[in-house]
Chains A and B, each alone.
Chain A
């Protein structure tokens, strides 16, 4: 049995501050493993994990797979585009077939919010949410928090701004929940059309003036503008978006301080973020990627690891 209260990681809404601290602390210890010449420990030897990806993903899938291999778990990957799996029956059948092959854990990415919750109704294996539609992406938020903690020493008291398409972002939701719980202040900034109704009730501030937000923030998390979603008049044009919400060298240059830059990737360079900003010393984007493996090792260990005694 695992070390966390819940059997699954379905979202950060179910994870307490204490548990978050445990996850991050464990992740830092695994980060040390990643810095060793032989980056592998036998912690999950004999455990089998299936990466069930119903939505295309490169970095999250590789990150999870690496984390599993670093912990010596056996891993299997299953990818499918959703067009061939539109029927709920297929979802259930797929889940139960995988379950029948005796797996310990299923890491699921799915375009429909709540799909990981749905999966827990059909399988006994531990379920880890690797992103479900516009709901949550808990491991991404955890790696963001780990990277902030690494940079600033602690999360408590930090001013963090999340900038961009909040409405369609699972990263934003998990970040809001996690950062709030760990004592950071969160401000959202983006076009009003991309700001979901009632989000203030999650304990965040909304500010539509990017310059004002940059003045306030210690760190910013820049979200990808999902061009494929913008055929339905959320924003008039990429040009106008960049003008109002793009993170440019010029904009940052007007500040009398340094702001730490994060991005969950993949980036649209020249749209929501300029190349020279993304590649600058203030950007901790590649640290996020490395910490992603450590956080996922931490989660897998805490959910699948055997309790001593």
Chain B
């Protein structure tokens, strides 16, 4: 990846501009000054009196808002061998993401205002916007609430105990109640630990064939059902991460019909793979919640189409090679996902007749609106966060393209559609290495 400072005056010409806010796609120009949007239009006015304007011809390239991921793990502090804020930022840029929210399951977990401040300060000079998500409970032990108000003041944008489900409904109730005054969502990893048991993969014919202990879909939907009812009872904001089953989606739909403050995300790997892909015992496909059946996968695509599921989020979860080389039962859950996200999602969604604008909305304005971030990045004066891409490029995801410290991706060798080419964020231009062709 080649990076350089953004010129003071920068004119992008001949771009295919996708505006996800106004739902428009048009050929036009973008003029930037001091890293901020001056004007976007078919033809823009350039003030040449204030200095030299660097012009770039973006013929054949599409440009839109920088992508936003509200669910990633950068492992700092504690497991810098897997990922750091610096390496995670590079991985984000490699995937076209200019804004990333990082989960609190670090070591120690982000459960105090001081640790939130540590992330915010450390991320201040990085090339992407990083927002910490605080833990709901101290030490993520599911019992005592953290100092949420102070943590929000320091920059926490949401609260979650991440991979550790809040199994105590009373704690979920209090967390939802307490945050009604803070305006931030509670994110609960929905997997009932008792129903999950020793499960290693989706429970169904494939777990039966492979002899791997199954995780039933109801382990997720039972908890989603409880949580959306608590959201109704408390009036709190609930965000359901990485939905994987049709039944969970039906509970989210139920909540939306009642106009509750309930939102949801789906991960690219749950849209791309099915439990049949685990037939090779690839530990990179071991994730929590697990890759589900083809019927679930189809249901998730439909939920994304009809808005039941609001957005995409990567659940980028780096692990070392050594950890993932273990026999299946012993390997940790999780895969990296930032750099493969766009190509994987667009391959699936273009095949399901989504328009480019619809797809772009799911990774730009929708996630930003959930966490209260600015959604109209084309508004005059907004810091430039732009991603350039080729939606038609067919390519294969390979190790050489990975910027993350980890390599645990089941997408290696898989077909992608759509390639991120360049990112502009925080006053820098980043050119991404070209993809190998299919």
Interface residues of A (CB under 8 A from B): 13, 86-89, 91-92, 110-115, 117-118, 132-136, 170, 173, 196-199, 201-202, 232
Chain B contacts for A112, CB-based, 8 A: 327-330
Say which residue of A89, A118, A136, A202 sits within 8 Å of B328 (CB atoms): A118
Chain B contacts for A114, CB-based, 8 A: 210-212, 281, 327-328
| Range of interface residues on B (Cβ < 8 Å) | 20 to 34
Interface residues of B (CB under 8 A from A): 197, 203-214, 216, 280-281, 322-331
Say which residue of B204, B208, B212, B325 sits within 8 Å of A88 (CB atoms): B325
Instruction: Return A200 CB to nearest CB of chain B, in Å.
Output: 9
Say which residue of B208, B209, B280 sits within 8 Å of A117 (CB atoms): B280
Chain B contacts for A110, CB-based, 8 A: 327
Which of A113, A135, A136, A173 lies at the interface centre, i.e. has the most chain B CB atoms within 10 A of its CB? A113
CA of A135 to CA of B279, assembled, Å: 11
Chain A contacts for B324, CB-based, 8 A: 88
Tell whether, in the assembled complex, residue B203 and residue A132 are in contact, meaning their CB atoms are under 8 Å apart. Answer: no
Tell whether, in the assembled complex, residue B327 and residue A134 are in contact, meaning their CB atoms are under 8 Å apart. Answer: no
A86 closest partner in B (C-beta): B330
Say which residue of B207, B211, B216, B327 sits within 8 Å of A170 (CB atoms): B211
Q: A88-B322, A114-B281, A115-B327 are in contact. Are A134 and B211 (CB under 8 A)?
A: yes
A88 closest partner in B (C-beta): B326
Q: A88-B325, A114-B281 are in contact. Are A136 and B211 (CB under 8 A)?
A: yes
Tell whether, in the assembled complex, residue A134 and residue B281 are in contact, meaning their CB atoms are under 8 Å apart. Answer: no
Instruction: Return A197 CB to nearest CB of chain B, in Å.
Output: 5
CA of A259 to CA of B22, assembled, Å: 75
Instruction: Return A143 CB to nearest CB of chain B, in Å.
Output: 19
Chain B contacts for A199, CB-based, 8 A: 205, 208
Which of A89, A112, A134, A201 lies at the interface centre, i.e. has the most chain B CB atoms within 10 A of its CB? A112
Q: Return 16 A-B CB contacts under 8 Å, by A number.
A: A88-B323, A88-B324, A88-B325, A91-B325, A91-B326, A112-B330, A113-B211, A114-B212, A114-B328, A118-B281, A118-B328, A132-B211, A135-B211, A173-B211, A199-B208, A202-B208
B201 closest partner in A (C-beta): A113
Q: A113-B281, A118-B281, A173-B209 are in contact. Are A197 and B326 (CB under 8 A)?
A: no
Chain A contacts for B280, CB-based, 8 A: 117
Tell whether, in the assembled complex, residue B322 and residue A89 are in contact, meaning their CB atoms are under 8 Å apart. Answer: yes
A136 closest partner in B (C-beta): B211
Chain A contacts for B330, CB-based, 8 A: 86-88, 112
CA of A257 to CA of B84, assembled, Å: 71
Which of B197, B205, B206, B327 lies at the interface centre, i.e. has the most chain A CB atoms within 10 A of its CB? B327
